[in-house]
Amino acid sequence: MSERCMAGPTRFEDYSEKYKDLFLMTRRNGILEVRMHTNGEPLQFDWAVQTAYGNVWSDIGRDPENEVMILTGTGELWQIGNPEVWKTKFMDWPNSRKLEMYHESLRMIENMISCIDIPTIGVINGTGSHWQLGTLCDITICAEDTEFFDAHYLGGIPPGDGIVLALQNILGIKKAAFYAYTGMNINAQAALDLGLVSEVLSREKLLPRAWVLAEMIMQAPRSSRHLTHSILSQQWKKAMVSDQGFQLTHQLYDMAIDEEGILLRLMKIKERFQKNER
């Protein structure tokens, strides 16, 4: 567990203000809604966002007033991947920054699993990058037009950021391998059939449904809520310990010896991303 998790309690008034440019938060009767955004539009992922993820999970987890967390995006997209972050080839990054990248990439999902000990509901409001964060939640619901995909291998990168970890643990090793190699889209109905999500709804019904679920969860005693989440998240904790560091290391090693660079290959298949981000 990250040592960040061991600090004292945090206050909603403090961290909701600190992260407001990336995560808009509201809380009612112990239910915390976290909505990712960039200037009121879908969140645009960059390295500052990656760093913020690990920190925001820690702060949310250290506030005892949070009892259930709802995580969602803004508008019709979950979040937008930005190929421009790869303008500088990873092999040309300073070694110290490469090491930071390793830790920040781990904390992005590790702190979500290890630092948040309350029930979680992922509300995936549309297609986008880093959708594994929504599927790491105890309950996951998505919009009818959502499509899930992993483009790492298509872009010439070993898939180690947590998407394959989610696919392996939810779909199984054979289906995970198929979607990792092909980058094939999984539409919302297929995601439901495969068990990747719990329910599929129209976009306008997603958040109301999430709040109904959260309020239902809140009816149980506090200890039952916390310990049930502990039971349900144990498999993810095991996966983090046994597999995630291994997978991420393979991805970053390959990136560190990649002379062509990720950006050039991503631009060759940019229509794929444009299609999925409309």
Residues 212-251 have pLDDT tens digits of 999 999 999 999 999 999 999 999 999 999 999 999 999 9
Q: Going from the N-terminus, what domains does the chain have, and what CATH number goes with each?
A: 3-276 (3.90.226.10)
Instruction: Categorize the per-residue pLDDT at 263 as very low, low, confident or very high, splitting at 50, 70 and 90.
Output: confident
Whether residue 175 is predicted with pLDDT greater than 60 in this model: the reply is yes
Q: Please report how many Cα atoms fall inside a 13 Å half-sphere around the Cα of residue 244, on the Cβ side.
A: 26
Tell me what pLDDT residue 270 has.
Answer: 65
Tell me what pLDDT residue 237 has.
Answer: 97
pTM for the structure as a whole: 0.93
Tell me what pLDDT residue 7 has.
Answer: 63
**CA angle in degrees (0–180, nearest 5) for 141-101-254:** 95
> Of 72, 77, 97, which is closest to residue 206 (Cα–Cα)?
72
Tell me what pLDDT residue 29 has.
Answer: 97
Tell me what pLDDT residue 4 has.
Answer: 52
Tell me what pLDDT residue 277 has.
Answer: 43
Percent over 70 (pLDDT), the chain: 94
Whether residue 3 is predicted with pLDDT greater than 80 in this model: the reply is no
Mean pLDDT of 82-90: 83
Q: Are 157 and 262 in contact (CB under 8 A)?
A: yes
Tell me what pLDDT residue 276 has.
Answer: 45
> Of 28, 268, 266, which is closest to residue 129 (Cα–Cα)?
266
- 259 against 201, higher pLDDT: 201
Tell me what pLDDT residue 85 has.
Answer: 82
DSSP secondary structure of 194-215? HTS-SEEE-HHHHHHHHHHHHH
Reduced to 3 states (helix: H, G, I; strand: E, B; else coil), residue 91 is: helix
Residues 11-29 have pLDDT tens digits of 999 999 999 999 999 999 9
Residues 37-50 have pLDDT tens digits of 999 999 999 999 99
Helix (H) or strand (E) holding 124: strand 120-124
Whether residue 268 is predicted with pLDDT greater than 80 in this model: the reply is no
Percent over 90 (pLDDT), the chain: 85
Q: Are 48 and 86 in contact (CB under 8 A)?
A: no
Average pLDDT value for the chain: 93
* Angstrom distance (rounded) from CA 136 to CA 164: 12
Tell me what pLDDT residue 125 has.
Answer: 98
* Angstrom distance (rounded) from CA 216 to CA 213: 5
Reduced to 3 states (helix: H, G, I; strand: E, B; else coil), residue 277 is: coil
Q: Please list, in sequence order, all residues whose beta carbon lies within 8 angstroms of the beta carbon of residue 96, skipping any fewer than 6 positions away.
A: none
- For 9-101, list the strands marked E by DSSP: 23-28, 31-36, 43-44, 68-72, 79-80
